[in-house]
Amino acid sequence: MANQGKIKQGVNKNVAEFFAGIGLMRAGLEKANWNVTLANDIDPTKKRLYLNHFTTARDHFLLEDIHKLTASMIPDVTLATASFPCTDLSLAGRREGLNGSSSSAFWGFVDILQNMGAKKPPLILLENVAGFLTSNEGKDFSDALLALNELGYNVDPFIINAANFVPQSRVRLFVVGKLANEPITNLRIRQYFEGTKLRPSSLVDFIFNHPEINWDINHDLPDLPALYTEFTQIVEVIPKKSNLWWNKKRVEYFLNQTSEGHLTKLLTFKNNAEYKYLTAFRRTRNGKSMAEIRFDGIAGCLRTPKGGSAKQILLEVGKGEINIRLITPRECARLMGADNFTLSGTANEALFGFGDAVCVPVITWIAENYLNPTFANIIKEQNPETDITYAEPA
């Protein structure tokens, strides 16, 4: 491992959480004994939802545009995280890339790190949609990683689908950056390695096609876990008299929007003795609104509810019935691994917050299997003859 940025003896595992949203990055890191000492977001609604759950964060949550932050506002931290807006990188957006009005916030994060100078954290963690890898034919991802290289960070990307942890298909691209006094020689990456679940062939190809980037690939990560939570386990019990359930006319309208194949398959479950739970989205196909149902036992990727097609639909089928409603905020929380998150605000506010967040157990897995061992190695390398201990957060 390369020489890392200096860490003082006795330092806490402190974190600056940029683009904090409602705080699910924090929730995941805290489970691995990291301590958020600064949170930043531009959205006042997300700040309100964040503070309604993390009530002790009022003294270190900065509601501000990241471009307006100064280095003096950032405390000494070991890790900085950035789940910057994906709007311009995703298929659902306009694919304007890192120059788009939202995703360009990444450069505000780079500016903060640069202005911190010698106070730069030794570790950073980026998170975004998998489309970041291919945005503008890979140029956005390359530009971002080269910018981190310029700041002294060697980089290691990997991809995780939350479906390994929760019953939700949510594929995200992560990058760990490790501060080095000297960059790792590019020759190190010349030893070819095969694609894996964490680094599929598309990502491996990108790595080998960009030798100008300073990589530091961690090959010691364990296999991702197998999903153990079934979708049925996250379904909230809603009384049939609740107006959350759609009326007969609305159900019929939805069923008439499904394809013949989906409807036929759905009807095979109708007379089951027990309910089966499925999810669906509305999509536009050939200029026509269609209802597409998932039959694989997991939910589709949660989205921000900017329009009707972004709201995920739940179907309860069995006992001679087909009951339909939208997924609830509590179900969204469970699909993000934030089962006990304090729900507040309107349903749309909660859905927006979860749809724009990270999956908690994914972050905990990264922290336990990557960040914690890297942190320990940094201390050991810089203090080989000293018994270093660091205080864990309470």
Question: What is the residue extent of each domain of the chain?
Answer: 14-226+357-382, 237-327
Sorted by sequence, the CB contacts under 8 Å of residue 340 that are 6+ apart come out as none
Task: CATH number for 14-226+357-382: choose from 3.30.2020.30, 3.40.50.150, 3.40.462.20, 3.30.1360.230.
Answer: 3.40.50.150
What the block records as the tokens of 164 is 């390994």
pLDDT tens-place string over residues 378-390: 887 777 664 544 4
What the block records as the tokens of 136 is 């503008």
- 140: three-class secondary structure by DSSP: helix
Beta bridge partners of 316: 277, 323
pLDDT tens-place string over residues 230-284: 899 999 999 999 999 999 999 999 999 999 999 999 999 999 999 999 999 988 7
Report how far residue 169's alpha carbon sits from residue 215's, in angstroms, rounded to the nearest whole number: 28
Nearest to 152 by CA among 184, 175, 128: 184
> Looking at 3-7, 215-219, 250-254, 268-272, which range is the least confident one?
3-7
Report how far residue 379's alpha carbon sits from residue 138's, in angstroms, rounded to the nearest whole number: 35
Report how far residue 323's alpha carbon sits from residue 293's, in angstroms, rounded to the nearest whole number: 14
pLDDT at 69 over 80: yes
Give the pLDDT of residue 87.
55
Report how far residue 239's alpha carbon sits from residue 331's, in angstroms, rounded to the nearest whole number: 15
Q: What residue has token string 């009530």?
A: 55
pTM for this entry: 0.90
Give the pLDDT of residue 149.
94
Report how far residue 1's alpha carbon sits from residue 257's, in angstroms, rounded to the nearest whole number: 55
Nearest to 255 by CA among 236, 231, 278: 278
Report how far residue 133's alpha carbon sits from residue 24's, in angstroms, rounded to the nearest whole number: 23
> Looking at 12-16, 45-49, 151-155, 262-266, which range is the least confident one?
12-16
Report how far residue 317's alpha carbon sits from residue 151's, in angstroms, rounded to the nearest whole number: 54
The DSSP symbol for 299 reads: B
Beta bridge partners of 81: 17, 125
Q: What residue has token string 């003896």?
A: 9
Residue 302: C-alpha distances to residues 153, 175, 188, 250 (Å): 32, 22, 38, 22
> Looking at 132-146, 150-164, 305-319, which range is the least confident one?
305-319
DSSP H or E run through 321: strand 321-326
- 78: three-class secondary structure by DSSP: coil
Cβ 369 vs Cβ 6: under 8 Å: no
Q: What residue has token string 């980089």?
A: 155
Residue 84 CB-density burial (10 A; 0-12 exposed, 13-18 middle, 19+ buried): buried
Give the pLDDT of residue 385.
60
> Looking at 11-20, 72-81, 170-179, 379-388, which range is the least confident one?
379-388
Report how far residue 388's alpha carbon sits from residue 157's, in angstroms, rounded to the nearest whole number: 29
DSSP-based helix, strand, coil % in the chain, nearest 5? 35, 20, 45
Q: How confident is the model at residue 9 (pLDDT cuts 50, 70, 90)?
A: very low
pLDDT at 208 over 60: yes
pLDDT tens-place string over residues 167-192: 999 999 999 999 986 655 554 555 67
Q: How confident is the model at residue 85 (pLDDT cuts 50, 70, 90)?
A: confident
Give the pLDDT of residue 287.
75
> Looking at 178-182, 228-232, 288-292, 310-314, which range is the least confident one?
178-182
Count of CB atoms within 10 A of residue 15's CB?
Answer: 28
Cβ 284 vs Cβ 309: under 8 Å: yes
pLDDT at 227 over 90: no
Report how far residue 303's alpha carbon sits from residue 105's, in angstroms, rounded to the nearest whole number: 20
Give the pLDDT of residue 306.
66
Q: How confident is the model at residue 391 (pLDDT cuts 50, 70, 90)?
A: very low
What is the number of residues in the chain? 394
Report how far residue 69's alpha carbon sits from residue 107's, in angstroms, rounded to the nearest whole number: 12
